[in-house]
Amino acid sequence: MKETIQGIVIPFLGTVLGSACVLFLKNNLNLLVQRILTGFAAGIMTAASVWSLLIPALEQSANLGHLSFLPSSVGFLIGIGFLLFLDRIIPHLHMNSSEAEGPHTKLAKSTMLMLAVTLHNIPEGMAVGVVYAGYLYGQSNITAASAMALSFGIAIQNFPEGAIIS
């Protein structure tokens, strides 16, 4: 149980440490540096999604034979639909954008930026939660090391995001 709590806190710490970079900067990050950090974060998230989520999901449904792709594909599509739904109903503002997405609202820009970050972090939190729930449930394919690897991968990805947002 202790390692589960630690694993859930690790991505949070990655964001906090990245956000702490604001204490050492006098101005905004250069646009090129922001793009490099965003690309780095996107690459880490893609790798974590494939190696820590999709491939294990395919392995767990291997007993379905040639239909083993179906559960992970359906889950992936449901996740896409869920995030598109949230994208439509939650007013949010992206960085370097002057126009908000979602329904019209009179919320402050900082609130809408925070909602955009929250919207982005929902799948990360769900991924870590599902992996640790599987580990606690006793899934033989999910080890403490693989769950911790996902947590560290997301923490590494959260560091540049925290730096950019702050």
Q: Per-residue pLDDT tens for 57-116?
A: 888 888 999 999 999 999 989 988 988 898 888 887 776 677 788 888 888 877 877 777
Domain count, the chain: 1
Identify the pLDDT of residue 67.
Answer: 92
State the pTM of this model: 0.70
> Euclidean distance between the first and final Cα of the chain, in Å?
32
- pLDDT mean over 10-18: 89
Per DSSP, the three-state class of 101 is: strand
Paired residues of 92 in beta bridges = 101
Range of the domain at 68: 2-165
Rounded distance between C-alpha atoms, residue 84 and residue 89, angstroms? 9
pLDDT at 10: 92
